[in-house]
């Protein structure tokens, strides 16, 4: 799925959170979104997911789903939810359930049967490292890292064509960070899904994202092609100056 942003603007009082005139993420791209705190990364993701309403402008998803061509404004229909998975923060979780109960809930409302669910969960066993699935703890009693893992796995369960993850490396130990980088790269290659991630960690972003968007005060000020990690120096220079 392509994601097309047109004249998208969101303000909170006098603060401009997002102001993007035009931007497009092509189907199958793995895009990294970077910027300082307050740059607008999470707000942009929330606008793409129609979690907050834009002051002006629109976000469109365009492509082929279930054999049919589609071009929709995400604020005008919920059809895009059929092919989109996302994890932004803990508010996406149902914290009085165990992780397994939550995975079953996601599977049930999405039409996955038990066999299909278990087959999907097997793909993330290494990532969950025996600390998420099969545990009796409620989600609210998990560590921040295991809550993060629960949300990421749930977002990927249905093999979405669009995957959006806000700070997926946060709270994860180094081993889990390495595993999720491998998982995202492999998932992108195997499915051709369009993946958007944000991160404060430049190294992780440069490692896996062939394209990187740099946000400043709600504006995408640079669109960087990142082949063989050459974006690292440009980004480090920018943040050093900042």
For 178-237, the pLDDT digits (tens) are 999 999 999 999 999 999 999 888 889 999 999 999 999 999 999 999 987 778 888 888
Closest CA to 61 of 46, 78, 44: 78
Enter the CATH code of domain 2-91+160-241: 3.40.50.300
Highest mean pLDDT among 60-64, 66-70, 151-155, 168-172: 151-155
* Average pLDDT along the chain: 93
Q: What is the mean pLDDT of residues 3-21?
A: 95
pTM: 0.94
Q: Where are the alpha helices (DSSP H) in 56-210?
A: 99-110, 114-122, 125-128, 144-156, 174-191, 202-208
Task: Please tell me the predicted confidence (pLDDT) of residue 161.
Answer: 95
């Amino acid at each position: 799925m392509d994601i097309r942003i047109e004249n998208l603007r969101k303000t909170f009082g006098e603060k401009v959170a997002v102001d993007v005139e035009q931007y497009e993420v092509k189907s199958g791209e793995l895009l990294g979104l970077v910027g300082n705190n307050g740059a607008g990364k999470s707000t942009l993701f929330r606008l793409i997911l129609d979690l907050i309403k834009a002051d002006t402008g629109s976000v469109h998803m365009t492509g082929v789903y279930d054999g049919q061509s589609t071009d929709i404004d995400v604020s005008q229909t919920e059809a895009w939810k059929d092919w989109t998975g996302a994890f932004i923060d803990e508010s996406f979780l149902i914290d009085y359930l165990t992780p397994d109960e939550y995975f079953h809930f996601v599977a049930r409302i999405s039409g996955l049967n038990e066999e299909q669910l278990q087959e999907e969960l097997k793909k993330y066993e290494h990532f969950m490292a025996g600390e998420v699935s099969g545990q009796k703890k409620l989600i609210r009693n998990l560590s921040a890292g295991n809550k993060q893992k629960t949300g990421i796995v749930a977002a990927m369960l249905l093999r979405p064509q669009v995957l959006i993850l806000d700070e997926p490396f946060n709270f994860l130990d180094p081993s889990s960070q390495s595993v999720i980088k491998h998982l995202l790269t492999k998932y992108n290659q195997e499915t051709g899904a369009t993946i958007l991630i944000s991160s404060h960690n430049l190294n992780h972003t440069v490692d896996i994202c062939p394209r990187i968007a740099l946000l400043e005060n709600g504006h995408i000020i640079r669109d960087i092609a990142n082949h063989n990690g050459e974006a690292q120096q440009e980004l480090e220079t920018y943040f050093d100056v900042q």
